[in-house]
A and B are shown apart, each in its own frame.
Chain A
Amino acid sequence: MDKYEKKILAITGGVIMLFLFSLLYAKVSRRIDLPECTPYSKIYNEPKVVKLDKDLYQVFVVAQMWQFQPEEIYIQTGSTVDFYLTSKDVVHGFNIFEKNVNLMAVYGGINKMTVRFDEPGTYHIVCHEYCGIGHHNMEASIVVNSKGAK
C-alpha cells in the first residue's frame, strides 16, 4: 500500500464516521426515527379518528384497493397525531411528503408513526406502491385547521 492509498483509506474512514455520527445524532438527540414496530392486532383493522386530548389524535388508517379509509381526516392546528396503518389486501404505500411520513401498508402488519401538524392546510397522502390497476387513483387528504373539522 503506498502513501496515497493510506491517505484515501483514512479519508474514507473519516467521511463514513461523519455520516454515522450524523445518523445517530439525528436519531438519539433530535429523535428523528423510522416507523415504530407494533405487534399485530385486529383492532387496527377498523378505520377511525379518535381525539384523545385537546392536541392529541389517534388515527387508524386502513389501505385497500384503491382507497384509504378514512379518506379525509380533520385535525386541529398544532396537534400531534399517532398514525396506525395496515392493509386489507395488497401492499400499499402511504406518503405525506411535506412531513416525511413514509410508510408501507402491509397485510398482517401494523405501522406506526407520530407526526405533529403546526401549519394549517391540506396535506395529501399518496399511495406510492403499485397496488393494481387503480393504483394511480389512490389518494387521501388531511385537513389541518383551527376547528379540527369541516
Chain B
Amino acid sequence: MSILILVEHEEGEIRPATLNVVTAGVQIGGDIHLLVAGNDVAGVAEKAAKIAGVAKVMVADNAAYTHELAENLSALVIKHAEGYSHILFAATAAGKNVMPRVAALLDVSGISDIIEVKGDDTFVRPIYAGNALATVKSTDSIKVVGVRTTSFDSAEAEGGSATVENVDSADASPLVSFVGQELSQSDRPELTSANIVVSGGRGMQNGENFSMLDDIAEKLNAAVGASRAAVDAGFVPNEYQVGQTGKVVAPDLYVAVGISGAIQHLAGMKDSKVIVAINKDEEAPIFQVADYGLVADLFDALPELSAALDS
C-alpha cells in the first residue's frame, strides 16, 4: 500500500494540519508520499522531507498553485494518483475544497472527516454534528479521505529523510482566478491549533465586549473563538466560529463564556481535554459537558478572572 498526502502550506511553512494527516497515514500503514504544490516551494519541500514517517516528497513548483484553487490542485493530484491505495487530505477549508473533486474524478466515494482509523478500509466519521459516529467501510480501489486534524496527534516535524523529486504540473483551469483575500490579523495562536481557546457566545451582548476575552486570551496565550449565535449576531467574524458549521477544536483547555451549549456548538469543542463554562444560567446545557462550571454573570467573572491570572 502507498499513501499520497497533499501538503498544506503558507508563507514557506507547513501548516500543522498536514502533520496530523501524516499520523493518520501512518495508522493506515504503507509508504507515505507527500505532494507539495505551490510557487517557489523548494523550502517547503525540504521541510516536508524531514517529517518523520515520510518516504518521498513530490514537488510541483508552479504559480498556478499559489492560491490553492481547487480545480488546479485536484488536476495535479489526479495526474499523480496512479498506484496509490489512499489519498489523504486535511479536513480544512482548503482540503474540503479539493478532496471531493479528486474522489469524483476517480469515480470513488469521498470519505469526509475521519476521526479514527479502524483498518486500511474502515474508518469512523461523525455524522449529525457529532451526535452519532458512523463506521464506514470502503470497497473502492483508491480510498479518498478527509482527516479531521484534531483527532490525530501531530507527526514529528523533524527526524525524517525522505527523497525529494520534482514532478510535472497539470494544466491550470481557465475558468477560475484568485482575486484577493482578507485575512484576520492576530498575533495569537490560530484557533484550530491553539492549546487554549477562550470562546464567547450571545451572552457577550456585543462585539466590543469581546475585548474582555481578548485580554484573558492574551494572558493565557490562547485563541479567541465564538458560538454561531455570536457570529450570527454580528459580534465577531465567521472565522471565529466553533461548531458543526464552523471550526472543530480540541485544545487542552476550552473556556466557554456566555455560551449556552447548543448541540451544534458542542459538536465543535466537546473533544477538548478540559472544558470550563461560565454562564449565569445554571440550567445551560454547556454545564453538562464542562469539567468546571462557574454560575456567574460574565461581566463580574471576567474582570475577576483577568485579575486572578495576574497573581
A binds B: no
